[in-house]
Structure 1
Amino acid sequence: MPLYEHVFISRQDLSNTQAEGLVEHFSTVLSDNGGSVVESEYWGVKTMAYKINKNRKGHYAFLKTDAPAPAVQEMERLMRLHDDVMRVLTIRVDEHGESPSVQMQKRDERSERRERR
């Protein structure tokens, strides 16, 4: 089955448990349609570059999935209909990385950047 990565942003006025509950809800939607969630990460509340629906911040969540295309389409459809979800991004990838995403790595574990002058 194809591999996908999903990032979605939910409203800032949700609690952490409600935001993590959204991850569980969409994971069950995916598994009910024949897919599986390989890994999920809750990135927390982050400030956005611009306002979306009068919100300056949002709860970010990341899912790595292994699912057929119809299951992903159904999950995206339900995400777009859900009142608490503001944005959705889905990308098809060739393989999932073994390490945690860049958002979850500590700053000193990331690869070194060149120094600014």
Structure 2
Amino acid sequence: MPLYEHVFISRQDLSNTQAEGLIEHFGTVLADNGGSVVDSEYWGVKTMAYKINKNRKGHYAFLKTDAPAPAIQEMERLMRLHDDVMRVLTIKVDGHEDGPSVQMQKRDDRGDRRERRS
């Protein structure tokens, strides 16, 4: 089955448990349609570059999935209809990277950045 990565932003006035509950909810939607969530990460509340629906911050979540295209389309449709979800981004990938995403890694562990010149 194809591999996908999803990032979605939910409203800032949700609690952390409610935001993590959205991850579980959309994971069950995938499971009901023949897919599975390989890994999920809750990135926490982050400040956005611009306001979305009068919100300056949002709960960010990241999902790695293995699902057929109809399951992904159904999950995205439900995400767009859900009142608590503000934005959704889905990309198809060739393979999932092992370990945590770049967002969850410490700056020292990244190692791929050059030092700044003064």
TM over 0.5: yes
1:72 maps to which residue?
72
Could you tell me how far 1:113 is from its partner in structure 2?
2.2
- Measured against aligned partners, the alpha-carbon deviations of 1:34-80 in whole angstroms (never above 9, x if no partner) come to 00000000000000000000000000000000000000000000000
Gaps in structure 1 of 5+ consecutive residues: none
2:17 corresponds in structure 1 to 17
Shift of 1:99: 1.8
Task: Return the letter of the residue paired with 1:115.
Answer: E
How many pairs does the alignment contain?
Answer: 117
Q: Distance in 2 between matches of 1:105 and 1:114?
A: 17
Q: Distance in 2 between matches of 1:58 and 1:111?
A: 28
What is the match of residue 81 of structure 1? Answer: 81
Alignment match, 1:97? 97
Aligned equivalents of 1:10, 1:76: Cα separation in 2: 14
Identity %: 88
Deviations 1:89-116 (A, max 9, x none): 0000000000210011011101142222
Q: Could you say what secondary structure the match of 2:103 adopts? A: coil
Q: Distance in 1 between matches of 2:70 and 2:113?
A: 40
Q: Counterpart of 2:65 in structure 1: which amino acid?
A: T
Any idea what SS the aligned residue of 1:25 has? helix
Q: Which runs of 5+ in 2 are unaligned?
A: none
Question: What SS is found at the alignment partner of 1:103?
Answer: helix
The code of the aligned residue for 1:34 comes to G
Q: State how far apart, in whole Å, the 2-side matches of 1:22 and 1:16 are.
A: 10
Q: Deviations over 1:1-27 (max 9, x none)?
A: 000000000000000000000000000
Task: Give the structure-2-normalised TM-score.
Answer: 0.97
TM alignment of 1:49-60, pairs within 5 A? 49-60=49-60
- 3-state SS in 2 of match to 1:21: helix
